Amino acid sequence: MAGGRGTRFWPRSRKARSKQVLPVLGEASLLQQTYTRLRPLVEPERFLVITNGHLREEIARQLPEVPAAQVIAEPVARNTAPCIGLAARILLARDPEAVMGVFPADHVIAQEEEFRGVLREGIGLAEGGNLVVLGIEPRWPETGYGYIEFEGERVQGFREKPDQATAEEFVRRGNFYWNSGMFLWKASVIDAAIRRHLPHTAAALDRDDFPDCDSISIDYAVMEKASNIAGIRCPEFGWNDVGSWNAVYELMAGAKGANVARSEARFHDAAGCYVDAPGKVVAVVGLDDVIVVETPDALLVVRRDRAQQVGEVVKKLEQEGREELL
Amino acid sequence: MAGGRGTRFWPRSRKARSKQVLPVLGEASLLQQTYTRLRPLVEPERFLVITNGHLREEIARQLPEVPAAQVIAEPVARNTAPCIGLAARILLARDPEAVMGVFPADHVIAQEEEFRGVLREGIGLAEGGNLVVLGIEPRWPETGYGYIEFEGERVQGFREKPDQATAEEFVRRGNFYWNSGMFLWKASVIDAAIRRHLPHTAAALDRDDFPDCDSISIDYAVMEKASNIAGIRCPEFGWNDVGSWNAVYELMAGAKGANVARSEARFHDAAGCYVDAPGKVVAVVGLDDVIVVETPDALLVVRRDRAQQVGEVVKKLEQEGREELL
């Protein structure tokens, strides 16, 4: 799944240069890192990338080994359930027994071998007819993720994004895991589940009318309702959904309070800062915990703990019709 | 006097584009504003600008009415006493009775007519043989200026830059005024004072050996020692020496906490900020009291109350031989 906007990575991210196709960490884009991470398990001709019209060409360029016809642009954005339903139909036509893995293209995972070990386990569970979801042990009481409630190894239920107090309670109780948005299942099994729990969308897919699909997440539409769920309480493998520039900072900073410079920078009496302004010398003086990101036409200066708010800047520019900055 | 470096205005200021030739406030440069402010009192052919080799050409360009031969580059920087001594010699050669005013080229004055009123008064005192210095009523306990101690209308003495406690005591006592660095005197009178109090420099000037002059300020070399001093306790005329980007912010901000944008800027949950990045949209998110100044090759992000430290960045770049940034 590579259709997101990634507006919180403005000004670096734009409609045609969204987060997943950017090298926000390291030299390769997040999409390319996702591909490389899965490649030891899957041949290139068995990758399917669902994205949007702005990104299709760039994604095909970044993944030359993947057949270009398997980089598919949705005509409109309709959240994850229709995206997954469409992919399942395409795979089923090729192989009625296909096992399908669903991976957001913009996450990072530090320990790849541990991750692939979990996938091998999950593939087994999927072959047995389960809808498999990967749960991540929470490292802090995040309010931006959904949670999976476990009872032993069994999934008891799904919980929507909680408020702060609830998130803290989840972390305290220890049997609540972050819903990573990564799934494994047989294409036939998820297709049947969508037909059952989301019949209007299934019918729209039957008649190739993607825009008529419900705009709804797979979690809400299917996972919260199905009974054949298998959750995996993943061992630590350094998962991060790289949700903002602050996440990039934290993934790159070696130590607490370290400054991170991705271009030439001078820090005078500054700590915890992140600078990314190619071709320019940046001096940060007397400031802590500030992020500076520059492009030829725009500059962002944001306090690290407000990096989530960057999307609001983009929303405002959108309302004003500033297409050249989107 | 237009020879300063103005390193605290980096990255906008460079050796050949120093503070005084930049439009740091309004459309005209500080130098042009100084010229325009004095012009009602003095014909163009009676202006003399002493600067350095980096700026001479640009200054001549900015003041086309002033004869180019009267824009003079010192071969080396030697503080204010030799600069003033040299100017006095040049004026004396043209008119032994000349009254000379000395003005830094990088100050602003809001109420120009009030200012010129003071100058008219000062010219009278200068014609009477006095060394006239303009004192500014202190608006805060500044530690970066020298002070003039008055006893009634009489100058009791000069005080070097004080520490914080002393500065506060000066402001409390009410008879201490900031030394503005603006002077009026007959060229013959200051020349005689330099010959008396700074004989080595006078001798160096006699033999056209400017580099051999003492590097010393006129305050320290002459004003603190001479007896024929007349100080003027100036009425408020909005004097500001524009010592840093923070001073620019304060001169431009209409109200406390206002944001000032000299180029297109978006402030989200931000207050008291200053943005100057021509041709670029700048978004400031979740930050207060931050200054952002950009040029094609450099970017400064500094907390407003640390704007004085910007010179340290330049010193560091200088030590590293980064000539292209100086």
Query: What is the tens place of the pLDDT at every residue in A2-50?
Result: 998 889 999 999 999 999 999 999 899 999 999 999 999 999 999 999 9
Does B277 contact chain A (CB < 8 Å)? yes
| B316·A266 Cβ contact <8 A | yes
Report domain extents, chain B: 1-74, 102-240, 257-325
Residue B315 to chain A, least CA–CA distance (Å): 12
CA distances from B48 to B63, B72, B101, B265 (A): 11, 8, 10, 40
| CATH 3.90.550.10 assigned to A75-240 | yes
Number of H helices, E strands in chain A: 10, 16
**pLDDT tens digit sequence for A228-272:** 999 999 999 999 999 999 999 999 998 999 999 999 999 999 999
How wide is the angle at C-alpha B12 spanned by C-alphas B6 and B13, nearest 5°?
30
Q: How far apart are CA A106 and CA A26, in angstroms?
A: 13
| B301·A280 Cβ contact <8 A | no
Residues of A within 8 A of B266 (CB-CB) are 313, 316-317
Query: Greatest CA span in chain A, whole angstroms?
Result: 62
Judged on CB neighbours under 10 Å (0-12, 13-18, 19+), A124 is: middle
Q: How far apart are CA B209 and CA B168, in angstroms?
A: 42
Which of A257, A290, A111, A307 is CA-nearest to residue B289?
Answer: A290
**pLDDT tens digit sequence for B270-281:** 999 999 999 999
Does A94 contact chain B (CB < 8 Å)? no
- Polymer length in residues for chain B: 326
Does B300 contact chain A (CB < 8 Å)? yes
Does A262 contact chain B (CB < 8 Å)? no
Does B31 contact chain A (CB < 8 Å)? no
The neighbour count for residue A296, using CB atoms within 10 Å, is 10
Does A271 contact chain B (CB < 8 Å)? no
pLDDT at A259: 98
Does A215 contact chain B (CB < 8 Å)? no
pLDDT at B146: 95
| CATH 3.90.550.10 assigned to B102-240 | yes
pLDDT at A6: 86
**pLDDT tens digit sequence for B266-321:** 999 999 999 999 999 999 999 999 999 999 999 999 999 999 999 999 999 999 99
- The token duo for B24 is 């740091």
Residues of B within 8 A of A271 (CB-CB) are none
Taking phi over 0 as left and psi of -120 to 50 as alpha, with beta for the rest, A181 belongs to left
**pLDDT tens digit sequence for B23-65:** 999 899 999 999 999 999 999 999 999 999 999 999 999 999 9
**pLDDT tens digit sequence for B77-121:** 999 999 999 999 999 999 999 999 999 999 999 999 999 999 999
Residue B257 to chain A, least CA–CA distance (Å): 18
CA distances from B165 to B139, B142, B158, B170 (A): 15, 10, 17, 9
List, in order, residues 6 or more apart from A283 with CB less than 8 Å away.
Answer: A265, A266, A268, B10, B11, B298, B299, B300, B301, B302, B310, B313
Find the residue in A nearest to B279 (Cα). Answer: A297
**pLDDT tens digit sequence for B165-192:** 999 999 999 999 999 999 999 999 999 9
* pTM of the entire predicted model: 0.91
| B299·A282 Cβ contact <8 A | yes
Determine how β-strand B154-159 pairs with β-strand A239-240.
unpaired
**Stretch A162-166: mean pLDDT:** 96
Minimum-distance CB partner of B286 among A269, A279, A302: A302
pLDDT at A26: 87
pLDDT at B162: 96
pLDDT over 70 percentage in chain A:
100
Phi then psi for B310, rounded to 5 degrees?
A: -60, -35
pLDDT over 90 percentage in chain A:
98
By the 8 A CB rule, do A145 and A178 touch? yes
In the predicted structure, residue B5 carries a pLDDT above the cut 90: no
ipTM of this model? Answer: 0.91
